[in-house]
Chains A and B, each alone.
Chain A
Amino acid sequence: MNLDIIVFFIYLLAMLGIGLYFTRRASASADHYLLGNRKIGAPVTAISMQSSSMSGFMFMGGPAQAFQEGWHALWYAIGDAGGSIVNLSVLGKRMRRMSQLLGALSPVEYLEKRFESTAVRVYGAVVGIIFLFAYAFAQFIAAGKALEAMSGFSYEMALVIGIGVIVAYTVLGGFLAVAFSGFVQGIIMLIGVSIIGVMVWPQVGGLSGLNAQLAEIDPTYLSIWGKDLVYYGQWGVILGAVLIYAIGYMGLPHVSVKHMSMEGGETTKNAVLWSAGFNQLFTFTPYILGMSAIIIMPSVSDPEMVIPEMIYMVFPGIIAAILLSAIMAAIMSTCDALLMQAGTTLSRDVYSRFINKKASHKQQLLVSRLCILVGGIVGIIVAVYEPPTVFALVIFAFGVLGNTFMVPYIASVYSKKANKIGVLCGMVGGSVTNIVWELFAFQNATEIHPFLAGVLVSLIAMLIGNKFGTPPSDPILNAFDLAKENKRVPKKLEKGIFDDLAPEARNISCFLETNKDIQESAIVNWSIKET
């Protein structure tokens, strides 16, 4: 066993120690896991959130694509950085309001309630589970590669150890997820990535130097159409590349847990804003490093190993091992969240609804954990026998998720006429088109990105399907109208609106309306009491 793998296990033990220390303290009880630690402040929470969302795509997929395609790969980063803002401000706001009004806890449940259809939920859940696992498999491959680089084990052995650690961590009781260990991990990575950037930047002569040297090697590295101009004039491919990351992640069936604060506190809301800020900072860096590798390490045999190799090039052995351990632990955290969501969705939306309707809560929990174990085994098989690239797998998973959910989400808040048949047609049409487009490589023949093809088919299928369904019920139409209101609220006030209170606001509004007379006497009494 070499020194690096020993460092990795010491690192995991250190994180475990931090987790145990904070878990044993009364202040970090179940609330710490279920609600996040609300006393540590927004920036610390944000760094912790960010470290757990830094996935294999960021450290391996993105840089590898930039290493192979040059500036063309940045289309994906642009979608990632800009799309999330558009999504949050345009679609996100209405959808959040609507999902609060409907009392939905996950996007799939939201679609079921909005379109009053179980079939929509089932199809959404099945696609969600399959492609959440596909996304998790990409993390497995990344973890295997990171461990291979550190340990010197064979890829297969590293994969079995890596996935074994991830699954055991997720199922049996991980402590890395405690906010403080996430914070320590986040700091190590932030410093590490910044130092790599600072060290590599002068070596390539800054952005101008990088471009000049890339142009000398092959001018098409600088082209928006990809190396060797393979996508020349193919706007359908470019548009798909930008849209995929901007919208695809909306399809991930993130499940939220509503929280009612018994004391004051704004940490969570601010932390999300801080985290979005950090995300903007780190979206482009891995791609730039990937392109820098064309200059400083052109002979890398596996493009996905660009960042790990750079770490070994820039840092002395033991520091490099610590940094790689932090990356590995971050991949574990991302993977852990994906697996937990996939397992819970499967047990709730599929197992207890169709396979065993009388399943107890304990059985459901067990099924969700077994699902994670089976996912781990399938992940090992896929990653050993047919390992796709991290980039290809992430893009495929995100593409299908986006094609399944994008049109229904937009229709849910912008089209009053959209109905369950239309939405179901849109979901099936979009997802099947993307899968078929990928399987038969239709992009080459049509010059249209699978994601764009999926969007177009999904839209057309929904418009046709809408002709056959029944219109939404009155309560849904009322919720639709309520969700688009708020036009009279000035921006400053609107920023602070707490969407979780939508159901309370609606009920209080009805109460005030129906009890006008009693209310008036109550005001008088209240004023008397107050004076």
Chain B
Amino acid sequence: MKEQVLTQSIKFEKKEIERSFMKLQPNATFSADRIIYYPYYYFIYNVKAKRLFLPMDEKVGCAVDAINGNGSLVDSNPKWEASEILEGQRMREYQALEDCLTISKSFIYRSLSLKMRMLSVSHVKVEKQHLFYRPYWVVYNSKKSGQDFIVDSVTGQYHPL
């Protein structure tokens, strides 16, 4: 069964990933076997604050892992694409949007408190919110005792499975 969802486009293709892994471990064969779509909630906040010399009126982005509820800051306003993905490729979200909204707000305040030099904020309002899926490659090592990996297909960053 297929369903249409918002995803990020794949920047690192199968062959490229396999080639890179084999360069790093030449005695093994790697196979970028499948794509798994991982769910996140995306929030864009408008933040206004009074500061010396320059009042702040900015957009701050936050992504919340829809399975664990962990927040992350995001660095740009990405372009989404509507894709049809198979049931077996898509992980289900465990967190509700409302709960993640609270998590993201708390995360944004904490990040502002730590990094922005200002006495107080006058306005923090969510402007956009939606669920999106990020594609991860699952890369299998042909060696029986070898390590398998996931690869973020947007950045190419990887981690052992």
List the interface of chain A (C-beta within 8 A of B).
16, 20, 23-24, 29-31, 33-35, 38, 103, 168-175, 177, 255, 257-265, 336, 340-341, 343-344, 347-348, 361-362, 364-366, 368-369, 485-486, 488-490, 492-493, 496-505, 507-509, 511-512, 515, 518-519, 521-523, 525-526, 530
B116 to chain A: closest residue by CB: A33
| Measured CA separation A485–B160 after assembly (Å) | 9
Within 8 A of A (CB), among B13-40: 14, 21, 24-25, 33-36, 38, 40
**A-B pairs with CB below 8 Å: how many?**
207
- B115: which A residues are within 8 A, CB to CB? 33-34, 257, 340
A512 to chain B: closest residue by CB: B138
| Measured CA separation A522–B90 after assembly (Å) | 10
A490 to chain B: closest residue by CB: B25
A299 CB to nearest B CB, Å: 41
Given A257-B115, A261-B75, A498-B158, 14 more A-B residue pairs with CB atoms under 8 Å apart are: A23-B54, A33-B115, A33-B116, A172-B52, A258-B73, A260-B40, A261-B157, A263-B154, A343-B113, A490-B25, A497-B158, A508-B138, A522-B87, A526-B34
Across the interface, do A489 and B160 meet the contact criterion of CB distance under 8 Å? yes
- A512: which B residues are within 8 A, CB to CB? 36, 138, 161
Across the interface, do A496 and B116 meet the contact criterion of CB distance under 8 Å? no
List the interface of chain B (C-beta within 8 A of A).
8, 11, 14, 21, 24-25, 33-36, 38, 40, 47, 51-54, 56, 58-61, 63, 65, 67-78, 86-89, 91, 105-106, 109-121, 124, 136, 138, 145-147, 150, 152, 154-161
Across the interface, do B159 and A34 meet the contact criterion of CB distance under 8 Å? no
Q: Would A344 and B117 be within 8 Å (CB), given that A16-B53, A522-B86, A526-B89 are in contact?
A: no
B131 CB to nearest A CB, Å: 15
B70 to chain A: closest residue by CB: A103
Across the interface, do B65 and A503 meet the contact criterion of CB distance under 8 Å? yes
- Which of A23, A30, A103, A344: most chain B CB closer than 10 A? A30
A14 CB to nearest B CB, Å: 14
Across the interface, do A501 and B75 meet the contact criterion of CB distance under 8 Å? no
Across the interface, do B111 and A365 meet the contact criterion of CB distance under 8 Å? no
Q: Would A173 and B11 be within 8 Å (CB), given that A260-B73, A503-B68 are in contact?
A: no
| Measured CA separation A387–B145 after assembly (Å) | 61
Q: Would A499 and B120 be within 8 Å (CB), given that A30-B56, A489-B147, A507-B91 are in contact?
A: no
Across the interface, do A501 and B159 meet the contact criterion of CB distance under 8 Å? yes
B58 CB to nearest A CB, Å: 4
A525 to chain B: closest residue by CB: B86
Across the interface, do A508 and B160 meet the contact criterion of CB distance under 8 Å? no
| Measured CA separation A116–B17 after assembly (Å) | 39
A397 CB to nearest B CB, Å: 20
Across the interface, do A172 and B119 meet the contact criterion of CB distance under 8 Å? yes
- B138: which A residues are within 8 A, CB to CB? 508, 512
A100 CB to nearest B CB, Å: 9
| Measured CA separation A526–B147 after assembly (Å) | 23
Q: List 24 A-B contacts (CB under 8 A).
A: A29-B59, A30-B60, A31-B76, A34-B73, A34-B111, A35-B75, A172-B117, A258-B70, A260-B40, A261-B74, A264-B154, A366-B119, A488-B147, A490-B25, A493-B24, A498-B152, A504-B38, A505-B150, A507-B67, A508-B161, A515-B88, A518-B87, A519-B88, A522-B34
Closest 8 CB pairs of A and B: A173-B51, A522-B88, A518-B88, A501-B159, A498-B157, A361-B109, A260-B72, A30-B58
A457 CB to nearest B CB, Å: 33
Across the interface, do B38 and A508 meet the contact criterion of CB distance under 8 Å? yes
| Measured CA separation A341–B115 after assembly (Å) | 9
